[in-house]
Amino acid sequence: MAKALTTHPSGTGIAYRDEVPADRDRHGVLWARLTEAPGEGRPNFRALHTSRQRRSMLEQLCQVCGGPASRSSRGVLFLLQRPEPGEEPTGWPEETLSTKPPICEPCATLATHHCPHLTDPVLVRSRKPRIWGVFGGFLTPTANGLTPLPSHDTLPYGDPTAPWFLASQLVVELTRCQVVG
Ligand SMILES: [Zn+2]
């Protein structure tokens, strides 16, 4: 990753050595490239997921099959994991931040029955899924070039530290939510 990236000519933030306009979104945030495989020679499933995740969020496509996500007068369908008891934020699922794109009804039915990592799945419709920001990580200049900071995080659009952030997923905020059966 660090080889293709360099400090931006302005001195503030990161840039690709051969950057093209498509490397940034309309908020100016830099995105991980498909070719940025951390282990060379191995397929980079996470990066493939990056491109598909972003498109699914923007175009409201099902996260599983890629078809149109379910949409009704009550909003767009999302599949969430219910927070642990006692950790449920006030008003949940209102204002939940999600990196999981919406879903269609047939895939939601399958996922709720067959997805082992979803221990307590909840279907939620959001009338207003708002593009909130990005998920990814910060890079920092060191003596050896740019070094990724170990933690991954979410970053809201408009954050002043965004020039040092490499995005890998789009984050939406689910508003005007309703839990559905
Ligand atoms: Zn589907």
Q: 14: CA distance to ligand 1 center in Å? A: 36
pLDDT one-digit tens code per residue, 2-51: 578 999 999 999 999 999 999 999 999 999 987 544 444 444 455 557 78
Widest distance between CA atoms in the chain? 55
Q: 103: CA distance to ligand 1 center in Å? A: 6
Residue 46: its pLDDT value, please?
53
Q: 160: CA distance to ligand 1 center in Å? A: 36
Q: Which structure tokens are listed for 127?
A: 């009338």
Nearest-angstrom CA–CA distance, 35 and 84: 37
- The residue type of 119 is T
Length of the chain measured in residues: 181
Which of 129 and 39 is assigned the larger pLDDT? Answer: 129
pLDDT one-digit tens code per residue, 66-123: 999 999 999 999 999 888 888 888 999 999 999 999 999 999 998 888 767 777 889 9
Q: 107: CA distance to ligand 1 center in Å? A: 4
The answer on pLDDT for 53 being more than 70 is yes
**Residue owning tokens 């307590």:** 120
